Amino acid sequence: MSQPVILCTIEPARTGDANAPLVVLGPSLGTTIDVWAGVVPALAATHRVLRFNLPGHGFSPRATEPFTIEQLADAVVALVDSIGVDTFDYAGTSFGGAIGLALAVTHPGRLASLAVLCSGAKIGTAAAWTDRAAAVRASGTPSLVAGSAARWFAPDFLGRDPQAGSHALDQLLDIDDESYALACEALAVFDQTDAVSGIRTPVLCISGEFDTVTPTAQLQQLAAIIPGARAVVVGGAAHQPSLEQPAEVGALLGEWLAGAATRIASASSTAHVAPRPVDAAAPLPAGRTAASAYADGMLVRRAVLGDAHVDAATAAITPETAVFQDFITRYAWGEIWTRPGLDRRTRSFLTIAALVTGGHEGELAMHVRAALTNGLTRAEISEAILHTAIYAGVPAANTAFAVARATFAGLDEAAAETTAETTPDTTIRPS
C-alpha cells in the first residue's frame, strides 16, 4: 500500500485575509467536490475552504494500489501542509466523515474541530463493501446509479431539485471503476470503534432525517461515545445533506466553526494545539484554563441534557447561584464527563446508580432522560435500578422506579402530542 494522491481546490475567504482559518471539506464515495458547492459561500465568509476529490474521482488521479482511510487522512494532512497551515477545521460526509474520524484519531493536534456528516466509526459490513467492489469491477460505476439515487436522497429531492440530483448522479458515471472499488475495500477494513472514545477534538455529528445508510441513531450513538460531541439532525435530507439542504448545512457549519474559533480564542494555547491524553489514568493537561474547561463542559452538558434544559438553567441563574452553575459546568461536565476513561453510556449507568443510592429523585429524572440520550434503552435503565436495589436498598429502588415510570410516561405523552413532528428538537427544517 502507498499513500494515494488527492487533489484539491481552495476558495479564499471573502474577508480578503490570506491567512484566514482553513476548513477542509471531504466528499462521500461516488461524489466530487461539487457536492459541497452550495455550502462553500456560507463558510467562505470567514474561512478559506479547501475541497478535495477522492482518488479517481473528479480531477484526482486514479488509484492503482490499495489504500486505507487512514492513509487518505495522511494525504489530507499533506495537502494542508503544502499550503503552510498547521491547525484546521474539517467536515466530511460518509466516506469523507470516516476520513475526519481517522484524522481526529491519528492527527489530533491538527484539528480545531470536526463535523461528521452521515458517517460512523464503522460503516456497513465488510462483506457488503467487498461485494460492491466486485460488482463495480464487473459492471462499472453506471451500475450504481439507481441504487445511489435511492440511498443518497430524501424521497422528494429528485422532484424538488432534479438538476442537482442529476448532476451528482452523472458525475458518478465518470468515476474510475478501480478507484471506486479500492475505496470500497478501504471501507471494508475501516473500524475506529475502539478509538473514537479517545477523541478530544470538538465533534459535531450530523445526520439526515431520511438517511438509511447511516441512520440518525448511529450518529447519536457516535456522539455519545465521543466526549463533548453533539448530535443534530438535518430535516428533509437523507445521505447527502450538503447537496439536499445546502443553506441549512451551511448555516449549521458556520455556527459550529464560529464556536470552535471562540473556544480556541478563550483557551491559553499556542498556535499548535497539543492533543489531550487518552490514557484513562492520566490527568487533564496542566495548562488547561478555567475558560477551556467551562467551554468543554458546556458542550457536554448540552449534548447530554439538551439545549432546552441548559438554556432554562442558564436563564434562571441569579447572583447567588452563578458561582455554583460555573462550578457544575467546569468540574462535573468539563473535568469528569470529558475524561476518556469511560464512555457516556457507562457514565450514565454510574450516575443513575449513585442518584438512586443517595435518594436524589429530582436529579434522577433529569439523568434518566440523559441516559436515553446517551444510548441506554429503557430496559437497561430498569436493569440499572434493579441492580442498585441489591446494594442500595429496595425502598430506594422502589422510589427510583416510580421516578423512571413518570419520566417515561412524560416522554411518551410529549411524543403523542407531536406525532406530526417526528424529528428531535435539534432538527433543522428547510425554510
Looking at the structure, tell me whether residues 249 and 116 fall in a common domain.
Answer: yes
Burial of 351-370, coded b for 16+ CB within 10 Å and e otherwise, reads bbbebbeeeeeeebbbbbbb
Looking at the structure, tell me whether residues 206 and 159 fall in a common domain.
Answer: yes
The model's pLDDT over 242-301, given as tens digits with 9 standing for 90+, comes to: 999 999 999 999 999 987 766 555 443 333 333 333 333 334 444 456 666 777 788 888
Instruction: Answer yes or no: are the C-beta atoms of 230 and 205 closer than 8 Å.
Output: yes
* Residue 162 belongs to some domain of the structure: yes
* C-alpha cell belonging to residue 337: 464527563
* Residue 195 belongs to some domain of the structure: yes
* Residue 215 belongs to some domain of the structure: yes
Burial of 121-152, coded b for 16+ CB within 10 Å and e otherwise, reads bbbeeeeebbebbebbeeeebeebeeebbebb
* Residue 262 belongs to some domain of the structure: yes
Q: Tell me the pLDDT band of 37, cut-offs 50, 70 and 90.
A: very high
The per-residue pLDDT for 207 is: 94
Looking at the structure, tell me whether residues 317 and 375 fall in a common domain.
Answer: yes
* C-alpha cell belonging to residue 180: 471506486
Give the separation between CA 212 and CA 238, rounded to whole angstroms.
Answer: 7
The model's pLDDT over 118-154, given as tens digits with 9 standing for 90+, comes to: 999 999 999 999 999 999 999 999 999 999 999 999 9
CATH number of the structural domain spanning residue 13 = 3.40.50.1820
* Boundary of a domain, candidates 232, 266, 300: 266
3-state secondary structure (DSSP) of residue 90: strand
Strands of the sheet with 111-117, listed across from one edge: 8-11, 48-52, 22-26, 88-93, 111-117, 203-208, 230-234
Provide, rounded to the nearest whole percent, the portion of the chain with pLDDT above 70.
Answer: 89
Looking at the structure, tell me whether residues 255 and 382 fall in a common domain.
Answer: no
* C-alpha cell belonging to residue 79: 495537502
Provide, rounded to the nearest whole percent, the portion of the chain with pLDDT above 90.
Answer: 57
Backbone φ and ψ for 86, nearest 5 degrees, come out as -95, -75
Instruction: Answer yes or no: are the C-beta atoms of 40 and 12 closer than 8 Å.
Output: no
What does the pLDDT average to over 303-317?
84
* Residue 272 belongs to some domain of the structure: no
Instruction: Answer yes or no: are the C-beta atoms of 192 and 121 closer than 8 Å.
Output: yes
Is the per-residue pLDDT at 107 higher than 60? yes
Looking at the structure, tell me whether residues 259 and 343 fall in a common domain.
Answer: no
- How many other CB atoms are found less than 10 A from the CB of residue 12? 13
The per-residue pLDDT for 318 is: 85
Looking at the structure, tell me whether residues 22 and 65 fall in a common domain.
Answer: yes
- How many other CB atoms are found less than 10 A from the CB of residue 166? 12
CATH number of the structural domain spanning residue 412 = 1.20.1290.10
What does the pLDDT average to over 196-217?
93
* C-alpha cell belonging to residue 396: 430506594
The residue among 311 and 176 whose pLDDT is bigger is: 176
Strands 203-208 and 230-234: parallel
What does the pLDDT average to over 154-175?
92
* Residue 371 belongs to some domain of the structure: yes
The per-residue pLDDT for 428 is: 56
* Residue 426 belongs to some domain of the structure: no
Q: Is the pTM of this model over 0.75?
A: no
Burial of 244-278, coded b for 16+ CB within 10 Å and e otherwise, reads bbbebbbebbbebbebbbebbeebebeeebebbee
Looking at the structure, tell me whether residues 121 and 246 fall in a common domain.
Answer: yes
Residue type for position 68: T
With CA atoms as reference, report the closest residue to 123 among 224, 196, 32, 50.
Answer: 196
Looking at the structure, tell me whether residues 367 and 244 fall in a common domain.
Answer: no
| Mean pLDDT for the chain overall | 87
Domain interval for residue 312: 290-417
* Boundary of a domain, candidates 250, 266, 282: 266
The model's pLDDT over 332-368, given as tens digits with 9 standing for 90+, comes to: 888 888 886 788 888 999 999 999 888 888 888 889 9
Name the DSSP class of 61. P
Looking at the structure, tell me whether residues 315 and 233 fall in a common domain.
Answer: no
The per-residue pLDDT for 241 is: 96
The model's pLDDT over 374-413, given as tens digits with 9 standing for 90+, comes to: 878 888 899 989 998 888 888 888 888 888 888 888 888 8
Looking at the structure, tell me whether residues 224 and 296 fall in a common domain.
Answer: no
Looking at the structure, tell me whether residues 95 and 178 fall in a common domain.
Answer: yes
Indicate the number of domains in the chain. Answer: 2
Looking at the structure, tell me whether residues 328 and 211 fall in a common domain.
Answer: no
The per-residue pLDDT for 265 is: 52
The residue among 89 and 302 whose pLDDT is bigger is: 89
* Boundary of a domain, candidates 266, 300, 315: 266
* Residue 104 belongs to some domain of the structure: yes
What does the pLDDT average to over 85-102?
97
What does the pLDDT average to over 413-423?
65
Of the candidate ranges 101-115, 144-158, 210-224, 372-386, the one whose mean pLDDT is the lowest: 372-386
Instruction: Answer yes or no: are the C-beta atoms of 133 and 185 closer than 8 Å.
Output: yes
